Amino acid sequence: MTNVLRVGVIGAGTIARFAHVPAYEKNMVCRLVAITDINEKARLEISKQFNIFRVYENAQEMIEKEELDAVSICTPPNTHFELVLECAKKGIHVLCEKPLALSVDDARMMVKECQKNGVVLAVGYTLRFYPNLEMVKERLMQGKLGQLHSIVSVYHHVFPKTRWIFDPTVSGGGVIMDLGSHVIDLHNWLIDDEIDELSVFADFDERLNVEKEASIILKYKNGITTMMSLNWLAPQETEEHYIAGSACMDIADGFTQLRHKHMFDVYKSGYKALFRDFLHNMISPPHKSNPWQTEIDDFISSIVNRRQPRATGVDGLKVTKIIEQIYRQKTTDRLKSSK
């Protein structure tokens, strides 16, 4: 491995153009040397926009011809398994967009192969890199919230424009796989324990062939309960996380952060305290970083410094296990209700 890491990006869609490619361009320890996409228009547009001269139609060809140290995989979920295994066998470090895999067996094999070949496997769970949620994690570790009791997340988006997301053989599922994987990983990260029980209520739309909204409750082995509301039908995008402890409740407005307002609210316990201290307890994160830049920087740093990335393949496997349980229960409940 050279001093400057040679990076390739697989997939030239929105997440590559908006997040991965610009972040690699700004990282001083790596150089983005090639990109691949089966869509000619997409790969030529991103090539022109970012002056990437080595462009491929076929990911395998790029992996074979370019001496890459690392790749970002920004393709639909059903492609992740084979691409990760191929990169691992070549000794190429991988940042794979979420969800890691469509099944627990696939995710387990991906983790195993990367470990066997000594390559980093990071997963694109970007909520871990939001400045306000980084602050929540720090405050939890410092004990400033007291004993953690519960987390409630609201993650509502407008209707997706991407068509393949409605094909479960490609996407793995609907709003649970798309938005829920992010929230489940966030809760796992903040709580740092395994789940014990779960309940799910989902609206499966036969016209879409996937669920478009869902409410999920997770109970962890340490007794902490989390809830999440997931929706693709919102008139506007909303992302809020309520982290309740015995001493304090932190309220992080994730979507505000995405709009670069970076507002982070801390409400002390009790109604009187809430109203009295409302203006005095609004805290801005110490830095206003782009979470995707932080994610890419963490990935590159994990390679250079031979350490684990913040969101590992094992973390991705844990999320896949929970989602598989959710879909299993959702399917059983739907069969019961149809009788």
Complete DSSP assignment for 120-185: -EEEE-GGGG-HHHHHHHHHHHTTTT-SEEEEEEEEE-PPP--SGGG-HHHHSSSHIIIIIHHHHH
Structure-token pair, residue 100: 């890691």
Assess contact for 142 and 216: CB atoms under 8 A.
no
Q: What is the pLDDT of residue 205?
A: 82
CA atoms within 13 A on the CB side of 15: 20
H or E element, residue 65? helix 59-65
Domains along the chain with CATH numbers: 5-126+292-310 (3.40.50.720), 127-289+323-332 (3.30.360.10)
What are the phi and psi torsion angles at 253 (to 5°)?
A: -95, 95
Give CA–CA dist 235/320, Å, rounded: 29
User: What residues in the chain have per-residue pLDDT under 70?
Assistant: 1-2, 254-288, 330-339
According to DSSP, the residues that pair with 218 across neighbouring strands are 198, 226
Tokens of 284: 């801005």
From start to end of the chain, where are the E strands? 5-10, 30-36, 54-56, 70-73, 93-97, 121-124, 148-156, 195-205, 210-220, 225-231, 238-245, 248-253, 264-268, 282-283
pLDDT at 206: 83
- Alpha carbon 168 to its chain's center: 18
Q: Is 214 helix (H, G, I), strand (E, B) or coil?
A: strand
Tell me if 297 sits within 8 A of 281, measured CB to CB.
Answer: no
Phi and psi dihedrals of 182, rounded to 5? -60, -50
Quick check: bond before 99 cis, omega within 30? yes
Neighbours of 269 (CB within 10 A): 15
Q: What is the pLDDT of residue 83?
A: 99
